Chains A and B, each alone.
Chain A
Amino acid sequence: MKEKLATPNYNVNIRGRNRSGSIWRLVFQASTILGIIALAALLLNVMNSAFGYVALEARVHPDTLAVDGIALEDQNKEQLITVLQAKISSGAYNKLEKDQPFAKRSTANIRQVILERVLKYDVKQSWSLWESITRAAEIKREAAEKYPGAILKFNSWLSSDFVARPQSSVALSTGVRTAILGSLWTILFTLLLAFPLGVGAAIYLEEYAADNRLNRMIQTNINNLAGVPSIVYGILGLAIFVRALEPLTSGSVFGVVDPTTANGRTVLAAGLTLGLLVLPIIIINAQEAIRAVPQSLRQASYGIGATKWQTVWSHVLPNALPGILTGTILAISRAIGETAPLVVVGASTAISFDPSSPFSKFTTLPIQIYQWTSRPQDEFRSLAAAAILVLLIILLSLNASAVLLRNRFSRRY
């Protein structure tokens, strides 16, 4: 293009403007990339601990359990029972028989019992995934040297068994089923409390409340509540749900007496505490969503003689629902990852039975992870990593289903 004649008092400098634009673009790109790198590092770090070689040493060498030259893996049920009987005390055997008659147990179950009671594998050392890949030969030599009687195998701490097994104090046979169920129960009550209350409050504040000093104060306080540290909610939950409302949260009001329940420290109390925690988040997001519904839509509705409630129910809410659900997704993510308030409310750390009602004792995945990471042994850190992966998977699938739900609702005409 032919250059335009210089205009006095104007420094047009298009090239300079474009240059500063591209610099900013680079800055934004870099921050995005940094974020992705951080996330990838997090995930890799977790994976690094969750898989890798372990050196396992059995109390009794498996070869000595062979019957008539048949190795343990190939023995049938009767042979396994014989082995078990020979190796543990009759008292222990009778107790197992009482828990569940051997005749009714599966072969796999008996093999598992032998694994836990007789072989008693012990993790002598575990290696990270990175080490296992890069130094496999060295690790094999090292393990053979240091633990001559041990078996070296590549272990995935995250496995279907890990997800399906209840908690146990033995690293190799523990699982997160109890914690997963605890988390899901807790989230259920969190949502049951926070979703209707939060959306209701948002509707009131946006559509009904007058713009006066009291309501502005309420609004400010809700915004502040969203920033209150979660441990504070834990203390609140302890005071209200665990202590003051103990008859309710322990179920004695309903005549439910759960012998395992310890003084209101139940799934219900935890769920309600987390519900209070995420309530401000849900309110604020729902308010935003309701505010985003165009005023013209409300006017259209009022203009044909609709009442306020008809307007809210038929036009405002359906159009705000996607936004409300987005807020709810955020709230679920926050609640499912909370640890501190649950520690205060009284989540159990060692619990081997699944929560079966709102009035059960419970543990949740974050609590379980927290507990495992504080153990000195390496293998528990690997377990924690595996549990983190489980938590992430649950979180992502819950969010995915909420997103699907949202997309369904936001299918507009």
Chain B
Amino acid sequence: MAIISRSDRRERQSPASHVFGPAQETKGDLVVAQSLSNHENAKHVLEAKGLGIYYGDFRAVADVNIPIKRHKITAIIGPSGCGKSTLLRAFNRMNELVPGTNIEGEVLFDGENLYDSVVDPVEVRYRIGMVFQKPNPFPKSIYENIAWGARIHGFKGKMDDLVESCLRQAALWDEVKDKLNQSGLALSGGQQQRLCIARTLAVQPEVILMDEPASALDPIATLKIEELMQELKKNYTIVIVTHNMQQAARVSDYTAMMMLTDREAHSGTVIEFDETTRIFTNPKDKRTEDYVTGRFG
């Protein structure tokens, strides 16, 4: 079976469940999980292999081969329109919501192809959550914003505790604990974005994809989000798309540099993937060097 039944998942011990550790019962499971998790640490959580993405006939992204490492932050950078967001969305099959989107190649999630016909996209998005560029909390209360996701996935525990825990992880609890019944839309932009992150945490994904999560925020709110990411990476794997190279340099462990390769076809691809420090200090590709030093793009 491709990815998961719920019981499988428990044994594999998702990174998120570490936070909710006390709620998980049997010790035996945990031990197994620990060893499995060590084993898997060696591998990549996600891996794009020969990935190409089409909007109709237009090939937006071509031939991407990058690994996403567990418990690391991987940044995708590059100039506008080179397909960064498209690539990110391919990691949890969000592109499919746009009619006419197709892919070639594969995206491996723990070694299994996400685009295999037996894989349910709902399951994919459940395990690989997403935070969007523009904060988009539900037009519901703060509490409900977080509880809804857990509820649709059959959360049986104490909802109040879950809401508090998610808000604490998203560094939002102290600011909103007295107004959980107020609208999520009444918060400031930065708070809304952290609420969206908390909402994602509530379904305990294994990977969190962030599509320019701080681009609509001021520097202070941006800083908070970045600090939060450092905190979250202990338990989650994060992939972030950003326009802001300083941000990529500050927060990420690995960086994928994307660029339009084929001027004619306007297809973007990853031209270089490496540890962030190396991308920013000693890139192999001339174009990467030009871009990160600000001489281009």
Contact = CB atoms under 8 A, between A and B. Distances in A.
Contacts of A90: none
Contacts of B148: 314
B156 interface: no
Contacts of B137: 300
Interface in A306-321: 306-307, 310, 314-315, 319
A302 B132 contact: no
Interface stretch (B120-128, B243-251, B266-274): B120-128
B183 A304 contact: no
B203 A413 contact: no
A359 to B, nearest CB: 44
Contacts of A297: 136, 138-139
Interface string B148-175: 1100110000000000000000000000
B185 interface: yes
B292 interface: no
Interface residues of B, number: 36
Given A211-B99, A298-B97, A412-B183, A304 B126 contact: yes
B136 A305 contact: no
A303 B129 contact: yes
Contacts of A305: 122-123, 125-127, 129, 149, 152-153, 203, 205
Interface string B86-130: 000000101001010000000000000000000000110111011
Nearest to B134: A296
A301 B140 CA distance: 13
B94 A304 contact: no
Contacts of A306: 122, 149, 152
Contact of B152 (A296, A300, A310, A412): A310
Nearest to A301: B138
Contacts of B141: 413
A294 B200 CA distance: 19
Given A305-B123, A306-B122, A306-B152, A300 B183 contact: no
B91 to A, nearest CB: 12
A300 B97 contact: no
Interface in A250-303: 294, 296-303
Contacts of A296: 132, 134, 136
Contacts of B205: 305
Contacts, number: 76
A307 B122 contact: yes
B196 interface: yes
B152 A299 contact: no
A303 B138 contact: no
Nearest to B181: A413
A413 B126 contact: no
A210 interface: yes
B84 interface: no
Contacts of A210: 99
A107 B148 CA distance: 65
A323 B203 CA distance: 31
A326 B142 CA distance: 28
Given A210-B99, A297-B136, A413-B141, A303 B152 contact: no
Given A211-B99, A296-B134, A310-B152, A304 B184 contact: no
B179 to A, nearest CB: 12
Nearest to B141: A413
Given A413-B139, A413-B183, A304 B200 contact: yes
A4 B173 CA distance: 56
Given A303-B94, A413-B184, A315 B129 contact: no
Given A413-B183, A413-B184, A303 B125 contact: yes
A300 B139 CA distance: 11
Given A298-B97, A299-B94, A412-B183, A304 B125 contact: yes
B70 interface: no
Interface in A206-250: 210-211
B72 interface: no
B203 A299 contact: no
A310 B141 CA distance: 18
B69 interface: no
Nearest to A314: B148
Nearest to B125: A305
Given A300-B199, A303-B200, A305-B125, 14 more contacts: A296-B134, A297-B138, A298-B97, A300-B196, A301-B138, A302-B97, A302-B125, A304-B129, A304-B200, A304-B203, A305-B129, A305-B152, A305-B205, A413-B185
Interface of A: 210-211, 294, 296-307, 310, 314-315, 319, 412-413
7 contacts: A298-B97, A300-B137, A300-B138, A303-B125, A304-B130, A314-B152, A413-B139
Lowest 7 A-B CB distances belong to which pairs? A305-B126, A413-B183, A303-B130, A296-B136, A304-B149, A305-B125, A300-B136
Interface of B: 92, 94, 97, 99, 122-123, 125-127, 129-132, 134, 136-141, 144, 148-149, 152-153, 182-186, 196, 199-200, 202-203, 205
